[in-house]
Amino acid sequence: MPPEKTLNMTRSVMLMTTYECQLRCAYCRIRRGPRRMDEATARRSADLLMSSRAENLLLNFFGGEPLLAWDLVRRTALYARSRRGKKSLRVNLTTNGLLLDEEKLAFLKGFDSYVHLSLDGPREANAARLRGAGAGAQAAMEAALRRLEASGLQYHVNAVVDPSRAASFDSDLLALENLGARRIQFGYRVGVLWSPRALRELLASLDRYEARGRAELINRASDSEPVMLSREVIVDTDGALYWDGGIFLEEALPRVRKALRLGSLDDILEADAVDSEPRKPYERLLAAYPAGTKGGHIVLNNIKVGLALQRYWLERRRPTRPGDFHPVYGAEDPAVRRGVVEAGLPDQARFLNERMPWLDRAFLFIRGGCDLDCLFCRNKPQEGFQSIDEVDAFLAENSNLRRKRIALVGNEPTAHPRLPDIVRLCRRRGFTDVEVMTSGVRLAELARPLAEAGVKSYALAIHGSNPKVHDVVTRRPGSLDAALRGLEAARTAGARVFVHANACRANLSDLPALEALARVRGWPFSIHPLRPKDPEGMNVPYREAAPGYAELRRALTGRVKSLTGFPVCVAREIQGRASCPGEDVADSMKLYLLHQAFVKPEGCRGCPDHRRCVGTFEEHLRSRPAERKELRYS
């Protein structure tokens, strides 16, 4: 798991630029008025964000309608860019689109920008928003959508569903598609009670849309529910800091402003200090509105809606029954397959910017087989390679994106007979940093030509400190010696090599020795969980190949510090507060981890690490039901 998911880092700060807005949305619970943030407060907010240890930062402009304070948005974005140093900075803007003209779009294109366009659908669905906005408001918002699509900027449409429209929400989503929306995120109205019937109607609408819709629903891959418990940091116009519910729920639940206040720019001087706040939103909300009160009833009801949606999406990201495998994807996350594996570069960029904004790399999947026949991954034949023309057509889409970093991944990219030519194509298409995933067995001969072509780094699997372990895992005699020769040849050629191992029963007792070897030789090193696959794709069944968490504790506690992608509670018992640095994990492996169909048991709810933890695998819990009880927050 990337470090920004395991360390207390605040990588995103939202600015409440203004409380003014042209619309009077019935569901908006922000208290509108003439208040605006001044430039000094905006700059201090940007400075707070820049103090984060995170390398990839998000500066969010919110309102009200932030385009009513466009000069402030523009100057603050420029100021933040001047202060970022070597960090990456993305500018997010939430807008109703009424003032989104070509001049503003041109400015945003000069940044790594992302636009959240608020549009609930056709006129009848949007009617609750348009009171007092004038007859042309709906047409202006639809025109903003068309301009965004033509601009090439990253964006999605944000639609809010009211309980009264839950039964027809699938029609509203389809209507948004017809207006041109390709990516949609929906929210549900908070601060009001959702009846059990309205919630059932919403889930039924989603079922119907899932069967018919074509647009990408961002909610499928999101981990933001319940939104009532959001820990997004927002700076108010006066410099006070809140979890964002303190502002967006103010009219419905007035006491939340005080309850969710974190401090101010005067007393919070470092962004990462915000995330160390011990009292969680849930505790603060129920202290302000205890269970049994009207406000407490609304708080608990809205949390229940969020949890129901969380379950809904988790069930669609994993097998339909515990132990089953998706007929195509196995234990992979289908959203990642759609958004990255099977996507062109523009759609990849949109998906990664939304779900993994810290992963600043494109991915080219090289078709073909594998050189090994591992215990946990059956050998595939070396056939079906892409042609050079096919690869070039894929890479040509970078001309507008101008991304600089790409990873070549797959079963064994080095098996492609024209891999150096592919790397040169990547360079010609603007990619200056090329990473290659490999088992390393061909690398001794390829390291020099690949370095000359432009490869900068490798993600290489080493599963044991000696052949008796590694070669048993790979089921290929001599594979460790070949991989080590390739590794050293790559380093001699000037490339950085990231080494990783999958924790399985066959190498479990050797992992401390492998980690020690990596430290002595200076390899960036990480240990990853073994993921379940379609039984037809594994030489040894998952239950036999993968260790249980109790086995991991017995073998590794106090002896390793490189676990990543394991449940936080398990990793913490084994290696304490130590965590695998993100710079020790290849980008290819970060994607590999987030490509998995992780789940979180019911007992994990309430855990302070719930949002940072990837969770576990349904197949792991099915094959070891006793461990379901161990993954419990108390």
Three-state DSSP state, 196:
helix
* pLDDT greater than 90 at residue 597: no
The two structure tokens encoding residue 281 = 């939103």
Among the residue ranges 265-279, 325-339, 381-395, 480-494, the one predicted with the least confidence is 325-339
Give the tokens for residue 513.
Answer: 């020795």
- Contact indicator for 601, 628 with CB cutoff of 8 Å: yes
* Nearest-angstrom CA–CA distance, 86 and 50: 11
Find out whether 423 and 447 touch, Cβ atoms under 8 Å: no
Residues 247, 225: Cα–Cα separation, whole Å = 18
Question: Hey, what domains does the chain have and what are their CATH numbers?
Answer: 3-317 (3.20.20.70), 334-630 (3.20.20)
Give the model confidence (pLDDT) of 169-196 as tens digits: 999 999 999 998 888 999 999 999 999 9
Contact (CB, 8 A) for 183 and 177: no
Distance of alpha carbon 474 from alpha carbon 466, whole angstroms: 12
Are 471 and 477 in contact by the 8 Å Cβ rule? The answer is: yes
Residue 2 has pLDDT above 50, yes or no: no
The confidence score (pLDDT) of residue 331 equals: 55
pLDDT of residue 25: 80
Mean pLDDT (the chain, rounded): 86
pTM of the model: 0.60
Write down the pLDDT at residue 632: 63
Which pLDDT belongs to residue 380? Answer: 72
* β-bridge partners, 95: 117
Q: What is the mean pLDDT of residues 49-62?
A: 86
The predicted model gives 343-354 an average pLDDT of 80
Confidence band of 460 (pLDDT split at 50, 70, 90): very high
- pLDDT for 275: 57
Q: What is the structure's pLDDT at 577?
A: 80
Higher pLDDT, 229 or 44: 44
Q: Is the pLDDT of residue 311 over 70?
A: yes
> Rounded mean pLDDT of 380-394?
84
- Residue 234 phi, psi (nearest 5): -125, 135
Per-residue pLDDT at 10 exceeds 70: no
How far apart CA 500 and CA 86 sit, in angstroms, is: 27
Sheet strands (E) in 25-149:
56-63, 88-95, 112-118
Do 400 and 152 touch, CB atoms closer than 8 A? Answer: yes
Contact 511, 560 (CB under 8 A): yes
Q: What is the pLDDT of residue 121?
A: 77
Specify the pLDDT at position 135.
63
- Per-residue pLDDT averaged across 150-167, rounded? 90
Compute the average pLDDT of residues 261-288: 80
Q: Is the pLDDT of residue 310 over 60?
A: yes
For 234-244, the pLDDT digits (tens) are 999 999 999 88
Which three-class secondary structure state does DSSP give residue 410?
strand
Share of residues in the chain with pLDDT > 90 (%) = 55
Average pLDDT value for residue range 227-237: 90
